[in-house]
Amino acid sequence: MFSSTIDQSLSKEKLSNLKYYKYSSIDRSLLSRYVLRHYWDWAIGLFPMNMAPNLITLIGFTFILMNVALAYWKAPSLDIDENPPRWIYFSYALGIWLYSTFDNVDGRQARRTKSSSPLGELFDHGCDALNTVFSLVMQAGALGSGHSRATVLLVIIETFGFYLSTQEEYHTGTLYLGYVNAPTEGIVLALVVFTISGIYGPAIWRTPVGHVIPNVPSSIASMSFSYGWIALVGVFLLLTHIPLCFYSMFKACRKQGKPFISTMATECSPIVIYCIAIHSWCMSSYSYILSHRNFIPFAVAIGIVFGRMASKIILAHLTKSSFPKFTVLLIPLVLGAAIANLPKIPGMPRLFTPQSELLYIYGFLIFATVVYLRWAIAVINAFCSYLGINCFSIVSSKTELSSKTN
């Protein structure tokens, strides 16, 4: 069922476009330029020269996976009422910091070992895409937002923003990070949130804004800091990130002679379907994801779906292929949302019980994991075969493509 899709996206003709690859990025972050850059330059010295950049990326990502597993084990409700041990939040802080460090060191390792490749960009961005939802599990727990609409909205906001950035890179050929961006300032702010929760407990984020900051409008004063954080992220996305991404893509489409409106409508349809399905499923009065505290396995499943969606865009960018408009992993997500809302239609039965919905979610998770890994392994093998490299070790004798960089 999936082999033809994999073969089409990795044909010899499309893989041959890898020889035109040249990594391009712009990072406007002042924090990166004047502070963190010096830390990353020091940290690269801790890694041996024979360590492959992709191995560094993978090890960094395992810190996120371990903390998601820790959240599921020790704090599955993501709520302050659960009162988990405080050291969990320090573990979140350490994990996100190590992930960020490894994520920024891998490119430096590629340059100093002359092992840069298109696979490095795909592997790096693929892990970042998976981390987008996975790290939100930890953020929800640290903020004490629990199994609530606020947590669901946080997932939608973050994934939509990441999708647009990836879509923008597809059209412009350049990864643009603004003066305030998620990979730098976002991670540092998350680190601060985790640390404060470790010291004072997540209940501190339930404090109304007006109790700490005087003379603010009543609508803001009554808002808790946890909801204020989510609102701030949403406002930032709406007022800065989304308009800038669309403006960059508008210029790119005009330069390439593409119709902007129809292009955006088609290319944004996967993420719109993704977000609507998540919200309608979780918010349905006939769903038990929030009421029975089953959000973590659901989040991991939809995180894998998003990882596939974003990584397919990067793959299309690297191989100069058409924009991917569909992934089979959306099917169980949309189907689950439909089942959860089926009883809203007069005369239709209620198919989900707490037990059957949880079984469906775990089945969804297993299906997503198998399909994603099968696809990822096929892509990695195809890249390695064409480029004459290994994914997790450095081939010292290989001849590098002169156009490759990272």
Q: Which residues are catalytic?
A: 125
R_g of the chain, CA atoms, integer Å: 22
Encoded tokens for 86: 């405080």
The string of DSSP letters for 215-236 reads S--HHHHTSBHHHHHHHHHHHH
Q: What is the dihedral of CA 333, 339, 340, 344, to 10 degrees?
A: 140
Judged by DSSP in three states, 182 sits in: helix
Encoded tokens for 358: 């949880």
Give whole-number Cα distances, 106 to 115, 199, 234, 346, in Å: 10, 31, 30, 55
| 29, 184 Cβ separation under 8 angstroms | yes
What is the Cα–Cα distance from 273 to 305, expressed in whole angstroms?
Answer: 12
What is the Cα–Cα distance from 247 to 257, expressed in whole angstroms?
Answer: 15
HSE on the CB side for 398, CA within 13 Å? 19
Handedness of CA 119, 61, 102, 174 (dihedral sign): positive
What is the Cα–Cα distance from 373 to 381, expressed in whole angstroms?
Answer: 12
What is the Cα–Cα distance from 9 to 120, expressed in whole angstroms?
Answer: 18
What is the Cα–Cα distance from 51 to 181, expressed in whole angstroms?
Answer: 29
What is the Cα–Cα distance from 82 to 208, expressed in whole angstroms?
Answer: 21
Q: Which H or E element spans position 271?
A: helix 269-283
Q: Which H or E element spans position 25?
A: strand 25-27
HSE on the CB side for 376, CA within 13 Å? 21
